[in-house]
Structure 1
Amino acid sequence: MKITVIGGTGLIGSQLVSKLREAGHTAVPASLSTGVDLLTGKGLDEALDGAETVVNVSNSPTFDAASPDFFRTTMGNLLTAGERAGVRHQVVLSIVGVDRIPQLDYYRAKTLQEELLRNGPAAYSIVRATQFFEFMDDVMSWTSDGDTVRLPDTRLQPIAAAEVVAALAEVATAAPLDDTVDVAGPDVFPLDEIGRVTLAAHRDRRSVVTDDTAGMFAAVRGDELIAGPGARIAPTSYKEWLGNGS
């Protein structure tokens, strides 16, 4: 099967291309570095030629109010090019709870992307993942100041990127869901606790201060980012992942 991976040179996309090729599929990475520009549509027809499935793991360059326009334009270009190419299955990577947090510009943008896909011309699957283990250091850097990291106690259920890739590969090579599936890690932690666990594993002497106004996730309360019933729960815990030197 030929599968085109949009955003195929990034963290998730590059691993997905490798995993699909290992399974015997023809996986084609498509990104700016390979000559494909989602915003203009340049190179899309060539990248999708002969593809049965497209997996879109591309991302907006910003998380602010400009992100809805990015997803509106890129999703429109991809669906139109996919229809021309005869693509039968469009897969998008999204976020668990994305439609429950309209106060965040980026989450509204991803919800828009999902809506465009559902109303598009091809069968589809949406894989919603929780926050990646690999991004926890970045999350802490947003509110780090000297010896202190300020974090809210927002509840998260993080997952290893490799296990998101495994879920995407499974969905991309199966019949379209015409639905959404959640994938998440095995444990739920408050973000401030995740920060303390992370710093301890890295032998980082900074301290975490619980601050429910700090960072993007401060806007999220309750269990909006926790996977729902029927989610696929990955086996690797965050502490195990950290203990393996990640």
Structure 2
Amino acid sequence: MKVVVIGGTGLIGSKVVEKLNAHGHEAVPAAPNTGVNTLTGEGLPEVLKGASVVVDVSNSPSFADDDVMSFFRTSTTNLLKAEAEAGVTHHVALSVVGTERLQESGYFRAKQAQEELIKASGIPYTIVHATQFFEFAKGLADGVTEGDTVRLPAAKIQPIVSDDVAAAVGRTSVGAPTNGVLEVGGPEAFQLEEFIRMGLAAKNDPRKIVTDPHARYWGAELEENTLLPGPGAHIAETRFADWLAQQQ
């Protein structure tokens, strides 16, 4: 089976390509550095020739509200049009647990717009909603740091390692389309403060971490369970503490 992975040279995409090829599929990475640009359409007809499945794990290079909305609208529209012309029979997209609950955030409004385009396209699809990645603990802290203080909302998070996300996306891509959303998360829920504290401590990062009821998450207010997957989610096995120990 030929599977084209949009964003196939990035963190998740490269792992999806590797896992699919290891299982005997023809996984093709597609990104600007391989001559495929979903914003312009460059290279799409060529790379999609003979493809049964397209996996989209691409992301906007800018998270500014207008930029990220433009990226997902333009990229997804061009990609779905090219897929229809190429006869692709399954579109798989990676999105985020809680997207529909985070619409105060420009980034998540753009992800919601992406999902709506997919659902309206007529192409059979599966959308994979993943929780926050282990690898992004520091980046999340950086985005809410004031001086030497990290201010976090009082909410829970159930993070997952990127390898387990890639495995879930890969399995989904070679399965039947669900025309719905599949949630994946890690095995443990933490308070945001605890997750970030563990991540920074592993890097000997001395920043002070506080819980602030007015703090926001990518511009959105959180309820306690906003970022948690629902009861039907696929739960991965890798624990955060075990992964941190492996990074030392």
Query: Could you say whether these structures have the same fold, taking a TM-score greater than 0.5 normalized by the shorter chain as the test?
Result: yes
Q: Which secondary structure does the structure 1 equivalent of 2:95 belong to? A: strand
- Report the aligned-residue RMSD: 1.5
Q: What residue ranges of structure 2 are gaps of 5+ in the alignment?
A: none
- Runs ≥4 in structure 1, deviation > 4 angstroms? none
Name the count of aligned residue pairs.
246
- Where does residue 155 of structure 2 map in the other structure? 154
Aligned residues: percent identity? 48
- Where does residue 144 of structure 1 map in the other structure? 145
- Are 2:154 and 2:224, in contact at CA under 8 Å, matched by a contact in 1? no
- Are 2:153 and 2:222, in contact at CA under 8 Å, matched by a contact in 1? no
Q: What does the per-residue CA deviation read over 1:7-40, in whole Å, with 9 as the maximum and x for residues that have no partner? A: 0010000111111111111111010101111111
- Where does residue 233 of structure 1 map in the other structure? 235
Output the CA distance in 2 between the equivalents of 1:96 and 1:40: 29
One-letter amino acid matched to 2:236? A
Output the CA distance in 2 between the equivalents of 1:17 and 1:183: 19
Give how far 1:190 is off: 1.5
Give how far 1:146 is off: 5.2
Output the CA distance in 2 between the equivalents of 1:79 and 1:205: 46
Q: What does the per-residue CA deviation read over 1:43-62, in whole Å, with 9 as the maximum and x for residues that have no partner? A: 11111111000000011122
Output the CA distance in 2 between the equivalents of 1:30 and 1:120: 21
State which drifts further: 173-182 or 201-210. Answer: 201-210
- Where does residue 83 of structure 1 map in the other structure? 84
- Are 2:137 and 2:200, in contact at CA under 8 Å, matched by a contact in 1? no
Q: Which secondary structure does the structure 2 equivalent of 1:208 belong to? A: strand
- Are 2:91 and 2:124, in contact at CA under 8 Å, matched by a contact in 1? yes
> TM-score when scaled to structure 1?
0.95
Q: What does the per-residue CA deviation read over 1:82-127, in whole Å, with 9 as the maximum and x for residues that have no partner? A: 0111101100001111011111111111111111111113110110
One-letter amino acid matched to 1:100? R
Q: Which secondary structure does the structure 2 equivalent of 1:60 belong to? A: coil
Give how far 1:200 is off: 2.6
- Where does residue 222 of structure 1 map in the other structure? 224
- Where does residue 31 of structure 2 map in the other structure? 31
One-letter amino acid matched to 2:230? G
Output the CA distance in 2 between the equivalents of 1:143 and 1:118: 33
Q: What residue ranges of structure 1 are gaps of 5+ in the alignment?
A: none
> TM-score when scaled to structure 2?
0.94
- Where does residue 9 of structure 1 map in the other structure? 9
- Are 1:153 and 1:193, in contact at CA under 8 Å, matched by a contact in 2? no
Q: What does the per-residue CA deviation read over 1:191-241, in whole Å, with 9 as the maximum and x for residues that have no partner? A: 111122123333333331222344535622221110002100001111111
- Where does residue 99 of structure 2 map in the other structure? 98
State which drifts further: 80-89 or 137-146. Answer: 137-146
- Where does residue 135 of structure 1 map in the other structure? 136
Q: What does the per-residue CA deviation read over 1:140-192, in whole Å, with 9 as the maximum and x for residues that have no partner? A: 12233554333222211110000000000100011111111000011111211
Q: Which secondary structure does the structure 2 equivalent of 1:59 belong to? A: coil
